Amino acid sequence: MSGLAERLEAVRSGVADAAREAGRDPGEVTTIVVTKFHPESLIRELARLGVRDIGENRHQEAQAKARALADLDLRWHFVGQLQSKKARQVRAYASVIHSVDRDSLVDALRSDESTVDGFIQVNLTENPERGGVAPEALEPMVERVLATPGIRLLGLMAVAPLDEPARAAFARVRALSERVGAIAPAATALSMGMSHDYRDAILEGATHLRIGTAITGNRPTGG
């Protein structure tokens, strides 16, 4: 994992530069390091370098890592598509679920005992397989989350489509976020921006970046 500290530092300064360019305080942008497919040892190294927010996209892998690294003071972010039947298990270790996108999942996350933070994922493509609610269906989903005990709505999450400039896609999310704000004034956070487009995301108001390879290096297998 040589170069990890250097890559982390490069992203930290890239984030700070983009925030300044946007006239924003870099302190209002949280960088989540997405560590899927990487070993626990890499996450330990990241923790030593001051990283607290870790993202994973598959339940089994995330659960195993959260258990093995329970001695570290980490916040786990679940960023992948989530089956309703796994929802309760995920909320047991995740602080934030970025991929709330279906009625059945919202219902499965209901709890009278504890609260998990959630983003509603919006689908910016025409392909329903990509995960996320269609923009037309956004308001009813916001209403449903607000009416469900046990989930605190933070805002919207999106992945930029490949066939559109990222900045334009993130501007669409920002506009959708204004619609959400009309119903849920506290839900103004924006989870958007990955290794190749985080600068554009910051310029369009991202509060949570999900950055993998720019920090971790290439993933060991697939993904």
Ligand X SMILES: *Cc1c(COP(=O)(O)O)cnc(C)c1O
Q: Which residues bind ligand X (CB under 6 A)?
A: 34, 36, 57, 79-80, 159, 194-195, 210-214
Instruction: State the residue number with the nearest CB to ligand X.
Output: 212
| Count of beta carbons in the 10 Å neighbourhood of residue 52 | 14
Rg, C-alpha atoms of the chain:
17
Nearest approach, Cβ of 36 to ligand X (angstroms)? 6
Q: DSSP labels for 114-142? A: --EEEEEEB--SS-GGG-SB-GGGHHHHH
Q: Which is nearer to ligand X, 8 or 214 (CB)?
A: 214
Q: Which positions ≥6 away from 149 have C-beta within 8 Å? A: 110, 111, 112
Nearest approach, Cβ of 198 to ligand X (angstroms)? 8
Q: Which is nearer to ligand X, 113 or 163 (CB)?
A: 163
CA–centroid distance for 109 within its chain = 17
Nearest approach, Cβ of 107 to ligand X (angstroms)? 22
Q: Which is nearer to ligand X, 52 or 219 (CB)?
A: 219
Is 190:208 a contact under the CB 8 Å cutoff?
Answer: yes
How far apart CA 177 and CA 85 sit, in angstroms, is 28
Q: Which is nearer to ligand X, 36 or 91 (CB)?
A: 36
Nearest approach, Cβ of 149 to ligand X (angstroms)? 26
